[in-house]
């Protein structure tokens, strides 16, 4: 990839609307982010992909010269838009911002991602809701496969394209989808439609089922799942790429991930605590501020609270992934998994 190397298993901080909330891109580089995820649906609605293009493309627009993966917008259309009508050639939907009507099909999804200039584009998929009957899941799956084929035909040189596996909780449908996508041929393969309300055991079952069916010589991306307990299960199964709003969203809500487990910084017990948030963390926040100060900022709703909390949580996540990669290359992943499974659950 021309914009930089991505070490796997990789975690992609989420910059939904062209910014990882509360972070500058220099800060993201400092904590070691190698790739960001951004969202077609959001940037299309605001400010509009043509505006982003006129300001130099997404990398220039947000001042990030490393790789960017853009989601196609399928998931957001299904999760955010109040009104949507799915047809065979795409989805009519109502903007969650101003109620205006729009249409997103494979052609539109590819066009927008091409104009944004992301390094990795995702196919438009029909994200099957949970629960879904086998009949509904199959209909939805055929749309996903057809759209994937159309997106592949429209792929532009210089932009990688990943296929997305749907099929709800049905193993036969997941398998069928993988076979069809591999036939079409993509630069990478993602599994979508998980963590949409199904029980955790079901999600883990599908993670273990799908990973070994995906081509080993292509990146395998588990979409939207970032609970570290789930990540351990998925990496063990064979997944290479992850994204999730958990570290950033939780940071803004005062929930912090540490080597001793989760910390809710608003708790009274931290009021006069002079220790660092996480004694094992080398991030800017932990090197310079006490738990007592972080609690004070959070209780006072100071902007700096969100900034310092986000720096720590993302640093913690990226460091977790760094240590996990090291454990894999040194052949001690199982030991790493056992140790962390307890802390993060
Ligand atoms: Zn820290």
Residue 48 has pLDDT above 90, yes or no: yes
Angle value at C-alpha 86, between 150 and 202, nearest 5 degrees: 90
Percent of the chain at pLDDT above 90?
A: 93
pLDDT tier at 81, thresholds 50, 70, 90:
confident
Going from the Cα of 241 to the center of ligand 1, the distance in angstroms, rounded, reads: 23
Alpha helices, DSSP H, located in the chain: 25-30, 40-45, 49-54, 58-62, 74-80, 106-116, 134-153, 171-184, 200-210, 228-237, 246-252, 284-288, 291-299, 303-329, 333-344
What pLDDT score does 77 carry?
Answer: 87
| In contact, 118 and 68? CB cutoff 8 Å | yes
Catalytic position from the list 125, 126, 243, 278: 243
d(CA 181, CA 119): 20
φ, ψ of residue 322 in degrees (nearest 5): -60, -50
Going from the Cα of 256 to the center of ligand 1, the distance in angstroms, rounded, reads: 9
Q: Which positions ≥6 away from 54 have C-beta within 8 Å? A: none
Joined together, the tokens standing for residue 40 give 């077609």
What pLDDT score does 185 carry?
Answer: 98
Going from the Cα of 78 to the center of ligand 1, the distance in angstroms, rounded, reads: 35
Angle value at C-alpha 281, between 334 and 333, nearest 5 degrees: 10
d(CA 290, CA 257): 15
User: How many residues are given for the chain?
Assistant: 345
Residue 6 has pLDDT above 80, yes or no: yes
Joined together, the tokens standing for residue 261 give 């487990």
Going from the Cα of 38 to the center of ligand 1, the distance in angstroms, rounded, reads: 25
- Asked whether the whole model's pTM tops 0.75, one would answer yes
d(CA 218, CA 52): 30
| In contact, 25 and 59? CB cutoff 8 Å | no
Joined together, the tokens standing for residue 253 give 């809500």
Going from the Cα of 284 to the center of ligand 1, the distance in angstroms, rounded, reads: 7
Query: Terminus-to-terminus CA distance in the chain, angstroms?
Result: 35
Going from the Cα of 313 to the center of ligand 1, the distance in angstroms, rounded, reads: 7
Going from the Cα of 264 to the center of ligand 1, the distance in angstroms, rounded, reads: 14
190-228: per-residue pLDDT in tens? 999 999 999 999 999 999 999 999 999 999 999 999 999
Annotated active-site residue 227? The verdict is no
Q: Using the 8-state DSSP alphabet, how is residue 33 labeled?
A: -
What pLDDT score does 84 carry?
Answer: 84
d(CA 314, CA 190): 23
Q: Using the 8-state DSSP alphabet, how is residue 212 labeled?
A: G
Annotated active-site residue 280? The verdict is no
Residue 1 has pLDDT above 60, yes or no: no
84-138: per-residue pLDDT in tens? 899 999 999 999 899 999 999 999 999 999 999 999 999 999 999 999 999 999 9
Please give the average per-residue pLDDT across 180-186, as a whole number.
98
For 68, the 3-state DSSP assignment is strand
Please give the average per-residue pLDDT across 263-287, as a whole number.
98
Catalytic position from the list 71, 119, 125, 126: 71
């Amino acid at each position: 990839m021309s914009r930089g190397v991505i070490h796997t298993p990789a975690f992609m901080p989420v910059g939904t609307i062209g910014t990882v909330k509360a972070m500058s891109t220099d800060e993201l580089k400092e904590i070691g982010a190698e790739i960001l995820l951004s969202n077609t649906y959001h940037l299309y609605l605001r400010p509009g992909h043509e505006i982003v293009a006129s300001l130099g493309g997404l990398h220039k627009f947000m001042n990030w010269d490393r790789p960017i993966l853009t989601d196609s917008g399928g998931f957001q259309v299904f999760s955010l838009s109040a009104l949507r009508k799915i047809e065979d050639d795409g989805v009519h939907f109502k903007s969650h911002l101003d109620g205006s009507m729009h249409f997103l099909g494979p052609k539109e999804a590819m066009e927008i991602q091409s104009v944004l200039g992301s390094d990795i584009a995702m196919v438009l998929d029909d994200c099957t809701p949970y629960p879904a009957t086998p009949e509904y899941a199959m209909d939805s799956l055929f749309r996903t496969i057809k759209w994937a084929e159309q997106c592949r035909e429209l792929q532009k040189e210089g932009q990688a394209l990943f296929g997305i596996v749907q099929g709800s909780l049905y193993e036969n449908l997941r398998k069928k989808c993988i076979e069809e996508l591999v036939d079409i041929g993509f630069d990478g393969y993602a599994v979508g439609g998980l963590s949409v309300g199904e029980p955790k055991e079901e999600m883990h079952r599908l993670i273990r089922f799908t990973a070994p069916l995906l081509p080993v010589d292509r990146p395998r991306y588990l979409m939207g799942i970032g609970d570290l307990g789930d990540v351990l299960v998925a990496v063990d199964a064979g997944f290479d790429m992850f994204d999730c709003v958990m570290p950033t969203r939780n940071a803004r809500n005062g929930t912090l991930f540490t080597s001793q487990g989760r910390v809710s910084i608003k708790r009274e017990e931290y009021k006069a605590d002079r220790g660092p948030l996480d004694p094992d963390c080398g991030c800017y926040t932990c090197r310079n501020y006490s738990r007592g100060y972080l609690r004070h900022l959070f209780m006072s709703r100071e902007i700096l609270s969100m900034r310092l909390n986000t720096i720590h949580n993302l640093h913690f996540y990226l460091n977790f992934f760094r240590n996990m990669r090291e454990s894999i290359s040194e052949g001690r992943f199982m030991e790493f998994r056992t140790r962390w499974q307890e802390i993060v659950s």
